[in-house]
Amino acid sequence: MSQYALRLPDSLLDAARRLAKDENASMNQLFVTAIAEKISALDTEKLLRERAERGDLIKYRRALGHVPDVAPIHNDDRLD
C-alpha cells in the first residue's frame, strides 16, 4: 500500500472530519472510499459512453419492432 500527502482546504478537511465522525470511520477510510466511489463513477460514465458509440439505432428499432405492443401488467410500470 502506498502513501500520498494530501493538501486540503480547511473547510473541506473540517467537513471530512465531521463526516468521518458521523460515519464512525477513520479519515483514511473516508478518503479511500470517496476516491473509490469517484473512480467507479468516472469508469462507469466512460463505459456507458463507449457502449453508446457502438450502438446501432437501426438494429435497435428492428429489435424493438419484435416487442408486442401490450399494456403493462403492473400499474407501476405505466409511463403516464
CA–CA gap between residue 10 and residue 16 (Å, rounded): 10
| pLDDT at residue 80, as a whole number | 77
Whether residue 76 lies inside any domain: the answer is: no
The pTM assigned to this predicted structure is 0.69
62 lies in a domain?
Answer: yes
In a domain? residue 74:
no
User: Is residue 28 included in any domain, yes or no?
Assistant: yes
- Number of Cβ atoms within 10 Å of the Cβ of 48: 10
Tell me whether residue 78 is in a domain: no
Give the model's pLDDT for residue 37: 98
Residue 54 resides in a domain: yes
Decide: helix, strand or coil at residue 70: coil
**Domain assignment present for 73:** no
Range of the domain at 45: 10-68
Q: Each residue of 15-74: pLDDT tens digit?
A: 999 999 999 999 999 999 999 999 999 999 999 999 999 999 999 999 999 999 888 889
Distance CA 33, CA 67 (A): 42
Q: What is the pLDDT of residue 10?
A: 97
Q: What is the pLDDT of residue 71?
A: 87
Mean pLDDT of all residues belonging to the chain? 95
- Structural domains in the chain (count): 1
What pLDDT is stored for residue 75 in this prediction?
A: 87
